[in-house]
Structure 1
Amino acid sequence: MSTGLLACVALLGALSGLAAPRAARHFTAPPAPRERDPARDHAAGTGTVPGTVPHAEDTPAVARDADKAPAVVRDGEAGPSVVRVVKAAWGASAGALVFAGLAATLGADPALPVLLALAAVGQVLALVDLACLRLPDPLVGTAGLVAAVGLTGVAATSGNPGHLLGAVAGAVLCFACHVLLALLPGSRLGFGDVKLAAVLGLPLGWLGGPTLALGLLLPHLLHGVVVLVLLAAGRVRRDTPLPLGPALLTGAWLAALTA
């Protein structure tokens, strides 16, 4: 792949990384508060009489003073705008690295656009799992649809159905292995992780047996190293739940770079 095209793919990845947090907020934000009906609240004995203004003493002090209190940034602390810039730069850099790595490895492979689209959804999944320890079915289903439909189309247009058989075998193998892990006594593997592993098995199986084997092994090695580091640093305890989704996605990406 030419340097100019690689730079374009990296830029596309940076844009994907910038958009990922906004997309992730749709799956992590708490539900919007229900609008209060003054008439219903009055009938229930709560709230205020319709058409009246609540007394200041009925309003919590925190709520009364919230609009008055200026935002204070202590010495040595980054302000909200600085934090947003740092997070945006980190997301853009990660997206550019993921996309550029895949493009440099796969080159003109017709499956590259499918893997890039899957990587874009994967960035959102990783952020959601880090934020709330869950992998929403709509996102995992979108990733699975992208991989299945995209790889089927590539196999049909390239006249190479063998790769598609490998992709299906990879998905089945990844699903079976992670179901067994989830059913082990004391396992903390959720079925969201199982479903994501099956989805990632599609591109891993497409890329070949060695890539699939590495994609099965690497996520758990990465997750184990992270857990040991956090335990040693005292940041977590042995019973602290930790997300596996980012490790599954990172391990699959690293395995794809060896294809």
Structure 2
Amino acid sequence: MASSLLCWLLIIITINAAVPDGFMEFYVDRCVFTSPDLKDIQYIRSLIYNKKEYARFDSNVGRFVGYTEYGLKQAAYRNSNPSFIAGMKAQKDAYCKHNIDIDYQVALTKSVAPTVRLYSTTPPAGHHPSMLVCRVYDFYPKTIKVQWLRDGQEVTSDVTTTDEMEDGDWYYQVHSQLEYTPRSGERISCRVEHSSLKEPLITDWDPSIPDSERNKLAIGASGLILGLILSLAGFIYYKRKARGRILVPTS
């Protein structure tokens, strides 16, 4: 994750807001970074009027740059004040570095290992008769690599993989599908690489019992066990009632 470019919108401050349908001026501070090292941090302040950026300070440039006629005048005015420019340059350390260090401590260096489920499915009529699905979910951070292996060799054809999808709880999930024709004795696996794993996680598909049949067997076994329990309870109840009876002889 450290190699990926992260852009963090730190704060939005409204300077002047009028009534609805009026005018609005505000500025946005951003910290763009690839690591917590100061040299890898870029501080940007954008000056915006009615949704249009008219000037910007960029720590990589070291001064304000104007984008409109008004912005050019504002940039020149601010650049003419050395103490003000020095204060803006200091924000890279005082503002960005401080907050980025906190984020790396509490979130950005954390990781959660993915859970992998491998199962088969039958597409609708007219499509390929068999398909394997590798569902990888509940992992963090977002970046992940999912591959299919056949007898240890990567499979690149007939593979469809979704983008990483947000779960809405900081976790992500991804689904990869492989169209296949079963072959006797072959081994098909789903291989997952993630920053939370010390080595790739390889899950083999077990074709011995299809998922649909496995579910039917589980339901049938549960019903059989429940029937035995109810029969045993009825037998015990009958025996207890029989012991409490009093036999009256008839002449």
TM-score, normalised to structure 1, is 0.23
Higher helix share goes to which structure?
A: 1
Larger Rg: 1 or 2? 2
TM-score when normalising by structure 2: 0.24
RCO (CA 8 Å, sep 6+): is it higher in 1 or 2?
A: 1
Comparing both structures, which one devotes a greater share of its residues to strand? Answer: 2
